[in-house]
Amino acid sequence: MELPRVVRQYDVFLSFRGEDTRKGIVSHLHRAFLAKGIDKIFKDDKTLEIGDSISEEIKESIHNSKFAVVVISKNYASSTWCLDELQMIMELHKEKQLTAVPIFYNVVPSDVRHQRGTFALERYECSRTMLLFSSKKRARAAKIRKWREGLREVAGTSGKDLSTCKDEATMVADIVGQISKQLSSMEPLDFSDIVGMKVHMERLNPLLSIESEDEVRMIGIWGMGGIGKTTIAKCLYEEYSGQFPHYCFIENVRNAAKNGLPYLQKKLLSNIRGKKQETLWSVEKGCSCIKSKFKDKIFLVLDDVDNVDQLRALAKNTGWFGPGSRIIITTRDFGLLYSFGVSLLYHVSFLDANDAIQVFKQVAFEGGQAPSDVYQQFSIRASRLAQGLPSALEAFGTYLRRITWIDGWEKALGILETVPHQSIMNILQTSYEGLDEQEKAAFLHVACLFNGNSVQRVNALIDDGDIRTKALEAKSLIDISPDGCITMHVLIEQAARAIVRKESGSMPWRQRILWKADRIISVLQRNTGTTTSEGVALHMCDMLHTLSIEGNVLNAINNLKFFKAFTHLNDIESKLKFLPGKDMLPNTLRLLHWDSYPMTTLPPKYYPHCLVELNLRYSNLVRLWDGTLGLSQLRRLDVTGSKNLTEIPDLSSATLLKELIMRGCTGLEQTPESIGSLSCLQKLDLSNCDGLTNLQIHITEKTVLGEPGLRRRRQIILRLPRAVKKKLSSLENLSIEGQIYIRLWHLRGNAEHLSYISEEQIPKEYMVIPKERLPFITSFYDLKSLSIKRFSYIADCTPFNCISFSRFPCLAELNLINLNIQRIPDDIGLLQSLEKLDLSGNDFRNLPTSMKNLSKLKYAKLSNCSQLETLPELTDLHTLKLSGCSNLESLLELTEAVQDVGRFRLLELELDNSKIVQPLADQLSHFTNLIHLDLSNHDFEAIPESIIDLLSLGTLCLNNCKKLKSVEELPQSLKHLYAHGCNSLENINLSPNHSIKHLDLSHCFRLQQDEQLITRFLKAKYSQEISQRFVCLPGTGVPRFFDNQSHGTSTKTSLPPIRFTPTLLGFAACIVISCERSFNLQFPTFSYDWNCEADEVIRINLKPNLNLSSMIEEEETVTSHHLVIIHVPSSINTEKIEELRLESDLHLPEELQFPHGEIRACGIRMIDDDYSN
């Protein structure tokens, strides 16, 4: 990708030997340039050539010049400064970053080339004293080599030789004219070469408002390091600076400020005035000079500012600059802009996926196009890792461009996914070093422990959390999503973890935070934890074996604040245990998260006075602790799924507790009375607590009344006296199940589940209207989600009374399920915030026409509403589920206003077991955006012809269409086709280029074993979007296509090893399954998986859905066979493989003793280059 030309502060840099030429030709050149209007000239009139090396100011000036005029006079080589200047100029000239124009002033160019006479460099050879120090000798020799190279190159560069010119004046005029012409012909920047730059410029133009001449504008451009702020600023500078009499671009203010603020001020003044500025002895003097010099308008860019003092020194306020001036500030720190009062802000966001992959390919490939599909996939992988960060895309592209073989790319990407690239590490290290010590600690804690967590949770866990997370967000190191979760860019997380490892010298026991299972196990086994360790995050799924430890192992880490031993699988045994009688925990813990905690109670000598969160899901706990503990910091207690837990202890000391989650604690018989005193409680979850017989708590005016006398398997009684209005006044979330009678204003009746979620903030439209004008504003106005349901639909059950929704104006989600509601009130159309609606299992015949006003409604589920006849006009829906609406006459009410095809935005439509009266094909033609369509349990013989026109359709369900005989004309976009139980199906026509990756034809017995269908399915053109294919269909034997086969009867089987070949790309496997008794075998999308263990064993796990069928008499014995074929064209890591073998497992539900299932045979075909061709 071509980047914009580097912004140059000087048009011309003059390099000369002062004592030879300052008062002669150099002064003539300077005057001639000024006469031509070229006033940005660097001419060092006063710097004394002292020391061995040129100053940083000279180096920066050379780098920031477009041309360098080198006046080579008799004594030029007698100055090491001149030689250093020449070396740097010629290096930049060679790299085409500036143009060198030599003038041979009374010297012979061949003497310069061959270093004769005054250009001989032997005088700089090492002295005898220096010979004693080999390092100095080598350094001096290297420097002389570079000087010689510079002299040779300048002698061969096109320039002017005074001896061949008419006279000095003519030579000066020629040089100045040539440079002036080249400067005026330099083309402006073409934004089209920079991906995404046009959009940035369009968004920034209104902020700049260049046409406004009567005001000074400061614009802040902020974002993460490496996201392109400097590039955007350079583009703005190139585009607009020519319209201003004065312009200046100060690059990398952060680094330049290390030389002091007066240095920055001097840099600004000298760049604007085109000559060196007198020494500034103080910041105050510099401020005074800037205010007095800039009366005209200026275009000023201050790039990469990281301290507000830098802004105060360079642009303290807009009054310093003339009307019409524009000051652009780029920074990583939003807080800096806010504190300085910059109100015109532009946040640079990440590139989207398409732009990101385009940037990567422009850098990585000649011509910007991937040479093959394999490299296209590598490009996708690299751009996903970069997550839209331009500097990372360029760094990855440059790094990978040098690699010319596929395996090399694979290895390099593997490295980039685990170790941060050095250039990215440098950018992010700069951000890290700009944090104070407390911010650094918070940054590392978030990166290693809490990325993706709720910001409220993190704020409670870390020191001064609210302040620290706001600082990290302001400095572009984290983002906080609209729903309040912290997100950190993957490369920042990667760099943070590298910093932790580097700080510890790569010694695990010294790491501040441990997250790798092998390192944690090493520290725990050897008892090498130190006071350095603050956090442990152990993913127990990464542990190969159970580890038993002594309690003092954790106790020895006496600064341990965060301990997580977690798993993504529920209700499994913990792989981390205490030795018997050795359970101890450090009292410094703020977070204790231990899934499947193995002990029956917390250690007796554990005093959780620092504990903020206790998470012991699926534990073996019988009780938490004895007596009353000091829990003054506890904010969250989660014992989900702890089935042996019989009681929750006194929580009266947990005055800050916000979340109490006891879901699935089936042994729990009662809750402590102290719950009623928890004034901060916001979430209480008692779902599936089957053992609860009596619950007495107080919940202000949100009325949920118990009704005695109703007998069920369990009964939960809620008693809520209205007199108690202060207790649990913060309760925002409630989930409760049992036999309850509900009275929520105009919603009344029996139900088995009630849950709600309240808004944290009241929407503005309800805050500004006086209460007397909103009579419906009551204690329910802040509910954003409300769910009332019975667990199953029972015909002729007492209807739930739904009279009005006027008391729930803020609802975004409403679920009224299996309540036998006979009428939905018209005022449902007033729920302007409603996004999700589930009215399944009710008895109404129609829905109010006012629902057409619900412009935000995207999801509607009306399953099993068997009395429903018509639907209102709902053009904005994305998802509509009408399963079991057997009385529905028409899909949607199509008025003249909505007859145009494409008006509907529906993406997902479920019509299984819904007998639409009007022709289905005509109905479907209005939903051209569909991606998911379910037509299961219909009685058509062929699918509707209009399906071929659904060009975005990805999933089609035709399960149990008993009369369906043929499937033809499927859209090319289709990825999933489910036709289970279509027992009349005889033919399915797949096109040669089909995109189907999951095909379920189980129990389509008229198909039998269709070799042609299998061949068409497997031989379809491979697409990188389809990483694997799956098909299940009736069949009894492994087809001949699979050349390695094995036979037997077991729920597990394997094949002998297969020799590895270097051309191996993937595999196709076939497994024959037989089942006995009456059953239905079905393979949904997630009913199988495979992995390549240690790159030697391909293991396939099959987990079909099995249901007993009522179609076969119990005494009958029926055996059915199915083929399961899994096709993985390219996924195996072939490095170091000598042989492969296939193993397959069949997993059936434990609760089903029958049907009996077995694997009868299996086969595999390895895919290599010959196969793919």
892, 904 contact by CB (below 8 A): yes
Which of 311, 336, 350, 344 is CA-nearest to residue 224? 350
DSSP 257: G
Q: Residue 211: helix, strand or coil by DSSP?
A: coil
Nearest to residue 704, comparing CAs of 748, 647, 638? 748
Tokens standing for residue 68: 């360098």
For the chain, counts of helices (H) and of strands (E): 30, 50
From 19, 56, 57, 85, the catalytic residue: 85
Q: Which residue is listed with tokens 């090399």?
A: 408
Instruction: Judge whether 202 counts as a catalytic residue.
Output: no
- Angle, vertex CA 463, rays to CA 462 and CA 467, nearest 5: 100
CB-facing half-sphere around the CA of 860: CA atoms within 13 A = 24
Which distant-in-sequence residues (6+ apart) come within 8 Å of 508 by Cβ?
Answer: 514, 519, 520, 522, 523, 528
**Distance (Å) of CA 1074 to CA 506, 1041, 1081, 1088, 1151:** 54, 21, 10, 16, 19
Q: What is the DSSP letter of 925?
A: T
Pairing of strands 704-705, 733-744: antiparallel
CB neighbour list of residue 944: distance below 8 Å, 6 or more residues apart: 919, 920, 921, 924, 935
CA-closest candidate to residue 1062, choices 987, 1135, 960: 1135
Q: Is 248 exposed, middle or buried (0-12, 13-18, 19+ CB in 10 A)?
A: buried
Q: Could you give the CA distance from residue 594 to residue 544 in angstroms, rounded to a whole number?
A: 18
Both tokens assigned to 870: 């018509």
Concatenate the DSSP letters of all residues of 113-162 into one string. HHT-GGG--GGGSPPHHHHT-HHHHHHHHHHHHHHHHHHHHHHTS--EEG
Beta strands in 612-654 (DSSP E): 613-615, 636-638
Beta strand pairing call for 1157-1167 and 1066-1076: antiparallel
Please, what is the Cα angle at 696 between 692 and 698, to 5 degrees?
A: 140
Three-class SS state of 311: helix
Q: What is the rounded CA–CA span in Å between residue 269 and residue 288?
A: 11
Check: CB of residue 131 under 8 Å from CB of residue 137.
yes
H or E stretch at 65: strand 65-72
Query: What separation, in Å, do the N-terminal and C-terminal C-alpha atoms of the chain show?
Result: 34
Asked if residues 834 and 808 have their Cβ atoms less than 8 Å apart, the reply is: no
Report the alpha-carbon distance of residue 304 to residue 63 in Å, rounded: 18
Q: Is 1040 helix (H, G, I), strand (E, B) or coil?
A: coil
Phi then psi for residue 933, to 5 deg, are -140, 125
Pairing assessment for the beta strands 783-789 and 747-758 based on DSSP bridges: antiparallel
Angle of helix 283-293 versus helix 308-315 axis, rounded to 10:
40
Q: Measuring CA to CA, which residue among 557, 643, 454, 465 is closest to residue 538?
A: 557
Judge whether 1044 and 1163 are in contact, CB under 8 Å: yes
Provide the 3-class DSSP secondary structure of residue 878. Answer: coil
Question: Residues in the chain, how many?
Answer: 1173
Please say whether the beta carbons of 977 and 999 come within 8 A. yes
Active-site annotation, residues: 85
